[in-house]
Amino acid sequence: MKYSEIMVRYGELSTKGKNRKDFIRQLGKNVRQSLQEFPNLEIKAQHDRLHVTLNGESSSAVIERLSGVFGIENLSPSVKVAKDIETIKETAAAMVKEQFKTGTTFKINTRRQDHDFEFDTNQLNDMLGGYVLEHVPGIEVKMKKPDITLRVEIRLNGVYLTSEIIPGAGGLPVGTGGRAVMMLSGGIDSPVASYLAMKRGVKLDMVHFFSPPYTSEQALAKAEELTGKIATFGGNIQFIQVPFRKIQEEIKEKVPEGYLMTIQRRMMLRITAAIAESRHTKGIFTGEALGQVASQTLESMMAINDVTTLPVLRPLVSMDKEEIIRIAEKIGTYDLSILPFEDCCTIFTPPAPKTRPALDKSRNFEKLIDVDGLVKEAVEGIKIVDVKPNEKFLNQQSDVFAELL
C-alpha cells in the first residue's frame, strides 16, 4: 500500500491542560529533528494530532523513526484519496485485502468533518462494508473487537483511510521536563538511565570522566557513540568530557585504599554539580541501582551525595540487571556498552572498597587533597562536543575493532 500520510496521536499531552500548547510545539520540533533526513516531508503539529505528509518518502522508514520519539501514543499510516465514492470503496477493499488472513474480521468506522459530503456516516459504513465483503472473499464483519478496524475520515481537504495502529514510545516530549546533567560512563546502566530520564521529558547534557593514558581514546569514543545512540530519542546532545587523571592520581597517592572509591565518586559528583550549576540545569542523573556494586549501597550513596544539594536522580534504583539489559537491547545501546574498553573508575577501583563508608571519615580523608583547586582545574579543562543522532565515533578509528579481534 502506498501511504500518503502518517497520523500521529499524542500521548499524555492531552491531560496537561494549559501546558498543552508548549507540549505540542516541542513534540513538533522533536519530530522535525528526528526526521531531518527526509527532505520531502511536510509536518504539521495540530491541536489534536500531528500529521506527517510523506510526499513520496518511505512510510516504513519514517514510522521507524517516529516510533522512537517520546510523547507519541501511537501512529497510523493513512492513504489520502479524492472525495469520490468509487475511489474510497476501492481503496478500502485494497487496504483490508492487504491485511487479510483466513478468519480475519473487520468493521468500518467512518467520521465526517465535511457535513456537505453526499453520504452520512451510517450510509458510508454500510456501503463500504458491503463493498469489502464482496471484494475480499472469506472476510467477516464483527462489531466488537474486530481484527481490522478501517477508519475513514471525510475531511474538508480529502478522505483519509487508516487501518493499522502502531504503538509509539509513550512518555513526554524531550524538553518539556527541563534540563539536567547525566553522568554517562561507557557501561550498560547509564545509557539506560539516560533513556528513562528522557522518556519523562528531560533534556540531557552528558558528562563523561576520562583518564588518558589509563583510559584509551576508544573508551572516550565509545561514550560519545553511546551518546549518538541516545540522541536518536530526543535530538542533539552536548557531550562534556572531563579530564580526571590528575584527580585520580592525587587521590590514589593520599587517601587510604578503602576510601579511594568513595572520594573519587565525591569528586566526580562535585565536578558534575559545578558543571550542572554553570549551565543552569536542575538536577543530576546517574545509572546507579541499589546493591549492584560497592558504591551502590545506601551508605555509600549518602557519603557521595553529601557534596551537592542538587537532586541526584537514579531511574534504575530498584531494577534488576536483567531488566536493565533488556532495555539496553531494546534501545540499541547494549552491543556498544559491552565493548571491552576500560572506564576510568574500573581502573582505579581498589580490590576491597568500603561498601559502607562513613560520612565523617569521607569528609576527613578528603581534606588530604586540594578539593577546590582540583575541581576548578577539571572544570576549566572540559571539552564540549555537540553529538548528533546516530553520529559515529568508533568506526572512524580503524584500529578500534582490529584491537578486539
Is 348 flagged in the annotation as binding?
A: no
d(CA 209, CA 247): 11
The answer to whether residue 286 forms part of the interface with ligand ATP (CB under 6 A) is yes
Least separation, in Å, of the C-beta of 316 and ligand ATP?
8
Nearer to ligand ATP, 124 or 193 (CB): 193
State the binding string over 157-186 for ligand ATP (x if CB under 6 A, else -).
--------------------------xxx-
Options 187, 283, 353, 389; binder of ligand ATP; rule CB under 6 A: 187
Is the CB of residue 165 less than 8 Å from the CB of residue 74?
yes
- Which segment (8-16, 25-33, 86-94, 188-196) binds ligand ATP by CB under 6 A? 188-196
d(CA 72, CA 52): 13
Is 287 flagged in the annotation as binding?
A: yes
d(CA 250, CA 246): 6
Helix axes 20-34, 59-66, angle to 10 degrees: 130
Is the CB of residue 225 less than 8 Å from the CB of residue 197?
no
Helix (H) / strand (E) element for 105: namely: strand 105-112
Tell me the C-alpha to C-alpha distance, in Å, between residue 257 and each of 216, 263, 351, 368.
24, 10, 9, 13
Least separation, in Å, of the C-beta of 168 and ligand ATP?
27
- Which segment (38-46, 50-58, 280-288, 357-365) binds ligand ATP by CB under 6 A? 280-288
Is 184 flagged in the annotation as binding?
A: yes
Q: Which residue is nearest to ligand ATP (CB)?
A: 187
The answer to whether residue 208 forms part of the interface with ligand ATP (CB under 6 A) is yes
Is 151 flagged in the annotation as binding?
A: no
Closest CA to 228 of 83, 8, 386: 386
Least separation, in Å, of the C-beta of 361 and ligand ATP?
20
Q: What residue has cell string 538536577?
A: 283
Q: How many residues bind ligand ATP (CB under 6 A)?
A: 19
Is the CB of residue 340 less than 8 Å from the CB of residue 394?
no
Options 5, 225, 343, 366; binder of ligand ATP; rule CB under 6 A: 343
- Which segment (4-12, 124-132, 286-294, 377-385) binds ligand ATP by CB under 6 A? 286-294
- Which segment (25-33, 59-67, 158-166, 341-349) binds ligand ATP by CB under 6 A? 341-349
Q: List strands edge to edge, sheet with 179-183.
A: 312-313, 284-285, 179-183, 203-210, 237-243, 383-387
The answer to whether residue 194 forms part of the interface with ligand ATP (CB under 6 A) is no
The answer to whether residue 344 forms part of the interface with ligand ATP (CB under 6 A) is yes
Options 287, 353, 357, 389; binder of ligand ATP; rule CB under 6 A: 287
d(CA 9, CA 52): 11
Nearer to ligand ATP, 56 or 291 (CB): 291
Q: What residue has cell string 585520580?
A: 248
Residues 6+ apart with CB under 8 A from 138: 100, 102, 103, 104
Least separation, in Å, of the C-beta of 209 and ligand ATP?
4
Least separation, in Å, of the C-beta of 83 and ligand ATP?
55
Q: Dihedral of CA 190/239/39/45: which sign?
A: positive
Name the binding residues for ATP.
183-184, 208-209, 265, 287, 296
Q: Which residues bind ligand ATP (CB under 6 A)?
A: 183-185, 187-190, 207-209, 286-288, 292-293, 295, 343-345
